[in-house]
Structure 1
Amino acid sequence: MGDGLSSFWGPVTSTDWCEKNYVHSSYIAEFYNTISNIPGILLALIGLINALRQRFEKRFSILHISNMILAIGSIIYHATLQRMQQQGDETPMVWEMLLYIYILYSPDWHYRSTMPTFLFFYGAGFAILHALFRFGIVFKIHYIILSLLCIPRMYKYYIHTTDVSAKWLAKLYLVTILLASICWLFDRLLCKEISFWYFNPQGHAFWHVLMGFNSYFANTFLMFCRAQQRGWDPKVVHFLVIFPYVKIQKPKSQ
């Protein structure tokens, strides 16, 4: 729904979404698509504090930080609707999926240095190419493929987990990603119809909120599974009754 409006940031040069631009502020192109990333930042902060407080492996702290960086990048992109900022949003999306692949597959990888080395150069190569070329559908297909690579491993962890609360985390992960995908498709495919409605349901904004929760549930589930692998006696408890997190009890030798 690009309308070519000039603003503080200039004409739209990135992909435009189904929200009218500069309705609430001349500094924020898509208001709801911008502020809807805030829950993801707060949830990632909760996860990061828990990971640091209980001294989980650094990979989980980096994962939570990457969630925050991704949400901040999305804020900048939707606030400006500029091509460079869109690429600054999309590149961390790929980096984050590579990090998930590492966390999911590295425990059974016998050659410890090869996987992180390969993923690092893959991520760096993608960043360079994405800076030089404007990927459209190619980026989406690439991102979907990376996401699908995670599913078999997530399912393996799910079937090998007997803890009911941990299984619920996996189920919440699945429900939120399905609902988020529906919101994304609804906003993208039915935009012309929505433009004639009395109000905009803000499907892309709901995508942001749901994916913030999705990442939080995924991270918490992976932390539980990793704690099980390390023999840390993990339990799923709740912060403020609503937010689940993993509480561990490390052996004294660790």
Structure 2
Amino acid sequence: MASLVDLAAPGMHTDGFWDPITSTLDWCEANYQFSYYIAELANSFSNLFTIVLAFFGVVHTWRQGLPLNHTVSFLLFALVGIGSFAFHASLLYSAQLADELPMIYLVSHGFFSLFDTNPGFGTLNDPKTRLLLVAEVLFDVLFTWSYAVVYRNPVYHQVVFGLFDTGMVVRGMYLMRQAKTEEDPKEKDGRLTATSAATPRTVRDVVIPRSVRKDMRYCLTAGVMSFMVGFALWNVDNVFCGNVTALKRAVGWPGAFLLEGHAWWHVCTGYGAFLVFTGVSYMSVDGHSASRTSPVN
């Protein structure tokens, strides 16, 4: 995922398989230090954690029969990890876009989905669902054009990503706060009876069992905290790159791999995103028991 290290930072480049570097960003990790074919070893392979979590989410949502939009979220999450691996391995601009654009697709999908509160998170037969889907696709197309063609500033990308990410957490907390707290009177044997899909409902018609509400709060809160820790480590890596590099040399490898701040950013944000999108999945509680809905139990 993107950072703010200047590509012209001294001492960061050696020859490698993917040269010349065409990305607009580079990182504190020395390039091609351990492999002629992988520009940034730690930053590349730290994305495997994200990919594993993403596919775990895909399998869970599929097996539990959650609405398709949740499976799509975790597939986009996996795409971010794959794109980030390609970016850090090659430092090519095309691979940079393969990392950065799916990040926007992921958070925009999560954000727009949280405004679809009809039973089962809606279907394509629902006008509101179709409208939100069109809005999501149009935004993604416009952002892709504006970022890849018009204004290639990483700060622009990071601001949009941060706004969507924050909006998604705020919207999730709002839905959780406004939904009914008591158990659904139709609940039998720990399983909620789905409301008729033909009957519109408001946010206050959503019933979230107390146990599910507790897990939702944990996922959203812990997810945000994990993002904050990752952001702090990311900026230490950016601001104090020279000091961190000297410390790496003093410690020596493989121990110095633990000092790769951007790799820890991948781990922290990967875990944070997994928790946030798990929390979002609780919005589709209709027709699912609390225990079946949670992959973190």
Amino acid at match of 2:296: P
1:249 corresponding residue in structure 2 = none
Which residue of 2 is the match for residue 250 of structure 1?
A: none
Moved over 6 A (4+): none
Aligned 8 A contact 2:64 2:292 in 1: no
CA RMSD of aligned residues (A): 2.2
TM-score, length basis structure 1:
0.86
Partner of 1:244: 296
Query: Kindly tell me: are residues 236 and 210 of structure 1, through their superposed partners in 2, closer, same or farther at Cα, counting changes over 3 Å?
Result: farther
The answer (yes or no) to whether the contact 2:83–2:98 under 8 Å persists in 1 is yes
TM-score, structure 2 normalization: 0.74
**Structure 1 stretch 3-12 or stretch 160-169: which is displaced more?**
160-169
The percent identity for this pair of structures is: 22
Counterpart Cα distance in 1 of 2:240 and 2:168: 29
Quote the Cα distance in structure 1 between the aligned partners of 2:293 and 2:65: 17
Alignment counterpart, residue 238 of structure 2, candidates 181, 184, 188: 188
Does the CA contact (< 8 Å) of 2:64 and 2:293 recur in 1?
Answer: no
Return the letter of the residue paired with 1:89.
D
Q: Does 1:29 align with 2:81?
A: no
Note the C-alpha offset of 1:237.
8.1
Separation in 2, partners of 1:50, 1:147: 22
1:154 matched to 2:169? The reply is no
Instruction: State the distance in 1 between where 2:283 and 2:128 align.
Output: 21
- 2:113 and 2:132 in contact (8 A); partners too: no
Q: Which amino acid aligns with 1:129?
A: S
Q: Is the 8 A contact 1:73 1:85 kept in 2?
A: yes
Q: 1:102 aligns with which of 93, 108, 112?
A: 112
Report the equivalent of 2:20: 11
Residues 206-217 of structure 1: matches in 2 within 5 Å?
206-217=264-275
Q: Look at both structures and tell me which one has the larger radius of gyration over its CA atoms.
A: 2
Secondary structure at 2:296 match in 1: strand
Distance 1:96 1:170 in 2: 16
Q: 1-side partners of 2:46 and 2:129: how far apart?
A: 38
Structure 1 position 113 matched with structure 2 position 130: yes
Residue 137 of structure 2 is aligned to residue 127 of structure 1: no
C-alpha distance in 2 between matches for 1:140 and 1:237:
31
C-alpha deviation, 1:13, in angstroms: 2.1
Which is further off, 134-143 or 76-85?
134-143
CA apart distance, 1:83: 1.4
Kindly provide the amino acid, as one letter, of the partner of residue 121 in structure 1.
L
- Corresponding residue for 2:82? 72
For residue 150 of structure 1, report the CA deviation from its aligned partner. 1.7
Aligned equivalent of 2:227, options 171, 177, 180: 177
Q: Structure 2: 5+ residue runs without aligned partners?
A: 1-8, 180-207
Alpha-carbon shift at residue 111 of structure 1 (Å): 2.9
Q: Which amino acid aligns with 1:107?
A: T
Q: How far, CA to CA, are the matches of 2:164 and 2:93 in structure 1?
A: 23
